[in-house]
């Protein structure tokens, strides 16, 4: 094939392509025109639909706006109506007030008119009374002159005589009135005092605690007794020397007796024995070590007991040394009565009684708790001082108030009472100690002491009868009036008290009362 043929073929192919392209373009242009026509028709239909939808939405919104407007208008009308109603009510109230004020003004005018008329009447009567007073004074002066002439006395002399007579009469009437009031006050005071004391006792109910001078230490078997006694008794001697307690080992099964008047030492010995028996190592060196540890433990327990006591009674600000003394009361007794229980009871009684009398109950509780701290002396030299005075000195030393110190020192009448708190402490102490069962006394020694008291009184001339009463706290002596005068009765009371003080041993104080009575008896037939 030659080159011309190839050129013809290529040219025909190119021409075919050009014609195909032109035909394709013409076809695409027809399709595009159809698509454009379809789009224009759809757009027109959409616009028509949009216009119809817009008209319907417009109509709906206009209807909603009209309905909202109607609602707002109705609410506004309601608000206006309520405001009009309130204004009408306010106007009505104002009109009522105006009418009320008008009525009050009318009443006030009438009252002023009546007051003016009364003032005029009063002025008229006052003038009339002044005139009458002047007339009476003139008549009185003329009568005085006539009386002076008749009695031959001047007015001053007659007045002085009348005043003197009235003075004597008034003095007699006043003395009678005062005596009646004093008797009435005494009767009322006794009744009120009994009522307060009975109410106080009824409101306080405490246990009666009686301590012994011996403690029983229980053991598991009698074999332990030999270990406690030790070789040739060295262990028991070491325990007695370290604690100051007498240990009695007898035939009592499974028990050892600890005897000592000091409850603290007895408790130290009991706890030490318990530790030694539990540990099993019992020899003199171990005994001394255990006793020292037990002493420290007891000291700490004493402080804890004191703290618990003051907290239970609601007492604050107590000095640590006084708290320690309060704790030591747990291991002291007075005639068998536990001293701490007695002091707690006295504190409660004092608080109730002070509240009934309108005094400070906290201060009364404080004084009641501390009133017997002198019974727990810290050294042998303190034993010689009376416990009330010693307790007062300790309270003063540790910054207690003067009322509390005086109440402590005066509860056995060893100093003068200067506050109302002192007799309350004394009474409550007597109530707690004199309650049946509170204290233990040996009956034989008690009866013998009463007999000895009476015998002391019979040893003086002129004594007719003698009675020991109030558990030996008072001795009443009846004397013969022919042999003993009033002056002699006073001196006899002092001599009997001195005799008792020097010759007898007794707890507390003994009051000696000498009674002298003179009787004149006649029989009408």
The angle, 0 to 180 degrees and rounded to 10, between the axes of the packed helices 155-203 and 421-434 is 40
pLDDT at 201: 57
pLDDT at 209: 45
pLDDT tens digits, 448-503: 788 888 888 888 888 888 888 776 788 889 898 888 888 888 888 888 988 888 88
Cα maximum dimension of the chain: 208
Do residues 315 and 365 touch, judged by C-beta distance below 8 A? yes
What is the Cα–Cα distance from 501 to 498, expressed in whole angstroms?
Answer: 5
Angle at 135 between CA 132 and CA 136, to 5 degrees: 85
Quickly list DSSP for 439-485.
S---HHHHHHHHHHHHHHHHTSTTEEEEEEETTTTEEEEEE-TTT--
pLDDT at 185: 66
**Residues in Cβ contact with 394 at an 8 Å cutoff, skipping those fewer than 6 apart:** 321, 322, 325, 373, 374
Strand, helix or coil at 515?
Answer: strand
pLDDT at 210: 46
Strands 255-259, 333-334: pairing is unpaired
pLDDT at 269: 82
pLDDT at 442: 47
**Residues in Cβ contact with 438 at an 8 Å cutoff, skipping those fewer than 6 apart:** 208, 337, 342, 432
Token pair 């262990």 is found at: 235
Q: Is the dihedral of CA 470, 475, 479, 484 positive or negative?
A: negative
Print burial letters for 156-178: b (CB count within 10 Å at least 16), e (below 16).
Answer: eeeeeeeeeeeeeeeeeeeeeee
**CA torsion, points 462, 468, 473, 477, in degrees to nearest 10?**
-20
Give one word for 280, left, alpha or beta, with left for phi > 0 and alpha for psi -120 to 50.
left
pLDDT at 379: 58
What is the Cα–Cα distance from 341 to 333, expressed in whole angstroms?
Answer: 9
Q: What is the pTM of this model?
A: 0.47
pLDDT < 70 positions in the chain: 1-2, 147-159, 161-162, 165, 182, 184-215, 221-222, 251-252, 261-262, 334-336, 378-384, 434-446, 471, 507-508
């Amino acid at each position: 094939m030659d080159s011309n043929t190839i050129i013809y073929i290529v040219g025909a192919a190119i021409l075919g392509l050009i014609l195909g392209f032109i035909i394709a373009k013409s076809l695409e242009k027809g399709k595009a025109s159809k698509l454009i026509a379809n789009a224009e028709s759809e757009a027109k239909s959409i616009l028509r639909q949009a216009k119809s939808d817009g008209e319907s939405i417009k109509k709906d919104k206009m209807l909603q706006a009209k309905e909202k407007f109607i609602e707002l208008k109705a609410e506004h009308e309601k608000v206006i109506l309520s405001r009009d109603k309130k204004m009408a009510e306010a106007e009505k109230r104002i009109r009522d007030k105006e009418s009320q004020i008008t009525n009050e003004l009318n009443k006030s005018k009438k009252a002023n008119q009546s007051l003016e008329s009364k003032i005029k009447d009063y002025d008229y009567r006052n003038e009339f009374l002044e005139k009458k007073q002047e007339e009476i004074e003139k008549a009185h002066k003329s009568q005085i002159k006539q009386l002076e002439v008749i009695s031959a006395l001047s007015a001053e002399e007659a007045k002085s005589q009348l005043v003197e007579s009235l003075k004597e009469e008034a003095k007699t009437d006043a003395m009678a009135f005062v005596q009646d009031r004093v008797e009435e006050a005494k009767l009322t005071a006794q009744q009120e005092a009994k009522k307060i004391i009975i109410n106080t006792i009824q409101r306080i109910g405490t246990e009666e605690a009686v301590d012994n001078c011996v403690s029983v230490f229980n053991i598991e078997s009698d074999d332990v007794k030999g270990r406690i006694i030790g070789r040739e008794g060295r262990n028991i001697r070491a325990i007695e020397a370290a604690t100051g307690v007498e240990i009695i080992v007898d035939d009592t099964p499974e028990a050892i007796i600890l005897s000592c008047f000091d409850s603290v030492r007895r408790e130290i010995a009991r706890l030490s024995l318990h530790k030694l028996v539990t540990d099993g190592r019992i020899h003199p060196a171990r005994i001394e070590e255990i006793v020292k540890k037990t002493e420290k433990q007891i000291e700490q327990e004493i402080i804890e007991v004191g703290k618990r006591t003051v907290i239970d009674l609601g007492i604050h600000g107590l000095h640590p040394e006084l708290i320690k003394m309060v704790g030591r009361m747990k291991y002291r007794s007075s005639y068998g009565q536990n001293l701490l229980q007695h002091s707690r009871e006295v504190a409660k009684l004092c608080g109730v009684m002070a509240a009934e009398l309108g005094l400070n109950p906290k201060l009364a509780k404080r004084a009641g708790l501390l009133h017997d701290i002198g019974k727990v002396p810290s050294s042998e030299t303190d034993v010689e001082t009376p416990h009330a005075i010693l307790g007062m000195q300790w309270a003063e030393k540790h910054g207690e108030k003067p009322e509390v110190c005086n109440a402590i020192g005066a509860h056995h009448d060893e100093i003068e009472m200067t506050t109302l708190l002192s007799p309350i402490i004394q009474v409550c102490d007597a109530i707690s100690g004199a309650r049946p069962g509170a204290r233990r006394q040996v009956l034989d020694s008690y009866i013998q002491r009463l007999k000895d008291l009476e015998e002391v009184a019979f040893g003086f001339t002129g004594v007719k009868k003698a009675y020991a009463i109030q558990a030996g706290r008072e001795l009443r002596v009846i004397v013969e009036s022919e042999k003993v005068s009033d002056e002699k009765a006073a001196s006899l009371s002092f001599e009997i008290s001195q005799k008792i003080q020097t010759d007898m041993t007794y707890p507390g104080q003994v009051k000696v009362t000498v009674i002298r009575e003179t009787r004149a008896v006649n029989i009408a037939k």
